[in-house]
Chain A
Amino acid sequence: MMHEIKNKPDYASLHVTLQQGEAVVAESGALMGMSGGVKMETSMKGGLFAAAKRALGGESVFLNTYTASADGQRCDFAPPTPGDMLHIPMSGNTVMVQRGSYVASSGTVTADAKWGGAKSFFAGEGLFMLKCTGQGDLWIGSYGAIAEHRVEGTYIVDTTHVVGFDDSLTYTVRKVGGMKSFFLSAEGLVVEFSGHGRVWFQTRSAPSLAGFLNPFRILVQKN
């Protein structure tokens, strides 16, 4: 299998070339195009329960598996937002990926939903993570650029900017500052990471864009 991320960093896309029998798994909306010799299967990876949990996580219930029936078959994938993509080689390690940032994976890498805790859910900033583990490749996408920070100790990232992080880090979701800051600062919830490992965050936030556009919606009087 050969793979390359093109059109970096603004409009990154993933281009995979498969040999006969090779397969790549992708988020169900991520396919841009594929060769005639690629067979797509919609599978509930990890079983029905895992699929249902992924649905809760805001990901599609189904991940699609693309398998080549001949050599030199091509599959192209793209994330939903303008921005960059990152390839993370997996060698039995575990990476947590924010919903919507997962694009594709290969080899034995599985994506399992993980509940981010009631606190982040009720704040409307649901931190739903996919637990990606196994051997092979993992590809993630971002809104904006992807910044990497190596945590040695503790580090804080706004929940809406989190893309993924090494499972070696522990994390808690909390607010920054005191209660006054929470209500008046316009900063929402943050994730505080502790330990040693990598954190990836995106330099733009989808909820922020929605917040900017909201006042431009046409206003109608309630009858």
Chain B
Amino acid sequence: MHIEVQHRPAYALAVVKLSAGETVVGEAGAMVSMDSHLRMETKAASKPDQGMMGALFSGLKRLVAGESFFQNRYTAEGRGGEVTFAPTLVGDIETYQLEGKALMLQSSSYLCSGPDVTVDTKWGGAKTFFGGEGLIMLKASGTGPIAFNSFGAIRRVAVDGEFTVDTGHLVAFEDTLKFTVGKFGESWKSFIFGGEGLVCKFRGTGTLFLQTRNPQAFGQLIGPLLPKRQS
């Protein structure tokens, strides 16, 4: 399996080439095009050894995380083929090779991955939940490639020591980094009125990926300009 990212950086498209019998897993709804002999299956993503209830539970957790309940699996039957994926918002796509080390992803940043990559929901903690920032992370582990997307450009930061990130700009980070979620500034006053949301404070050594635009901020800019919706 080979993932090539085309049309970078503004309108990136992930082109996945599969050999005969190979499978790629994609975020539900992200498929743009594919060879028609590929078989698509919809499954609640789960670890291989999970039973029915385990699969259902991890699907539910993913639903809470803002990811679609189901991931789709695309398999090239008989002969090789291609499938392409794109995210909703304008921006770039980055690929990463998993080899034992886990990668944490902001839930809306996941695009597609190899069949031996397990994607599991990790609760960001009550503090992030009540902050309204919805910092719910996906934990990608196992072996193989994974592709994730950004709103705007992707900035790669090699952290050695401490680094603070606005949660809305966080895309992904290596699991070797420890993080705590907190408010920006010293007082609650600056948290409420300062216009800065919650931040992730990272510590340790590892790579993290930032996006140069904040999807929540974009939604909050446009949403109130649209006709109101009724409950």
* Cross-interface CB contact of B231 among A204, A205, A219, cutoff 8 Å: A219
Please state if A147 and B84 are interface contacts (CB–CB under 8 Å). Answer: yes
Please state if A186 and B88 are interface contacts (CB–CB under 8 Å). Answer: no
Known interface pairs A145-B11, A214-B229, A220-B229. Does A154 touch B37 (Cβ–Cβ under 8 Å)?
yes
Known interface pairs A147-B6, A187-B72, A212-B219. Does A181 touch B227 (Cβ–Cβ under 8 Å)?
no
Q: How large is the interface on A (under 10, 10 to 19, 20 to 34, 35 or more residues)?
A: 35 or more
Chain B residues near A221 (CB-CB < 8 A): 230-231
The stretch among A20-28, A69-77, A109-117, A155-163 that forms the contact with chain B is A155-163
Q: How far is the CB of B30 from chain A (nearest CB, A)?
A: 9
Bound-state Cα–Cα, A20 to B125, Å: 69
Instruction: Count residues of chain B with CB under 8 A from any CB of chain A.
Output: 39
Q: What string of 1s and 0s marks CB contacts (under 8 Å) between A183-201 and chain B?
A: 0111100001000000101
Interface check B135, CB cutoff 8 A: no
Chain B residues near A185 (CB-CB < 8 A): 28-29, 40, 42, 70, 72
Please state if A219 and B28 are interface contacts (CB–CB under 8 Å). Answer: no
Chain A positions 49-106 with a Cβ under 8 Å from a chain B Cβ: 82-84
Interface check B31, CB cutoff 8 A: yes
Please state if B37 and A203 are interface contacts (CB–CB under 8 Å). Answer: no
Please state if B68 and A212 are interface contacts (CB–CB under 8 Å). Answer: no
Chain B residues near A204 (CB-CB < 8 A): 11, 86, 88, 90
Please state if A157 and B33 are interface contacts (CB–CB under 8 Å). Answer: yes
Please state if B226 and A9 are interface contacts (CB–CB under 8 Å). Answer: no
Q: Across the two chains, which residue of chain B brings its CB closest to A158?
A: B32
Q: What string of 1s and 0s marks CB contacts (under 8 Å) between A147-175 and chain B?
A: 10100011111100100000000000000
Chain A positions 1-38 with a Cβ under 8 Å from a chain B Cβ: 9-10
Chain A residues near B70 (CB-CB < 8 A): 184-186
Interface check B187, CB cutoff 8 A: no
Please give the residue numbers on chain B whose beta carbons come within 8 Å of chain A beta carbons, in ascending order.
6-7, 10-13, 28-29, 31-37, 40-42, 68-70, 72, 84, 86, 88-90, 215, 219-220, 222-224, 226-231
The 10 A-B residue pairs whose C-beta atoms are closest, nearest first, are A216-B223, A144-B11, A145-B7, A186-B29, A216-B219, A186-B28, A154-B36, A185-B42, A145-B11, A181-B42
Please give the residue numbers on chain A whose beta carbons come within 8 Å of chain B beta carbons, in ascending order.
9-10, 82-84, 144-145, 147, 149, 153-158, 161, 176-177, 180-181, 184-187, 192, 199, 201, 203-205, 208-209, 211-222
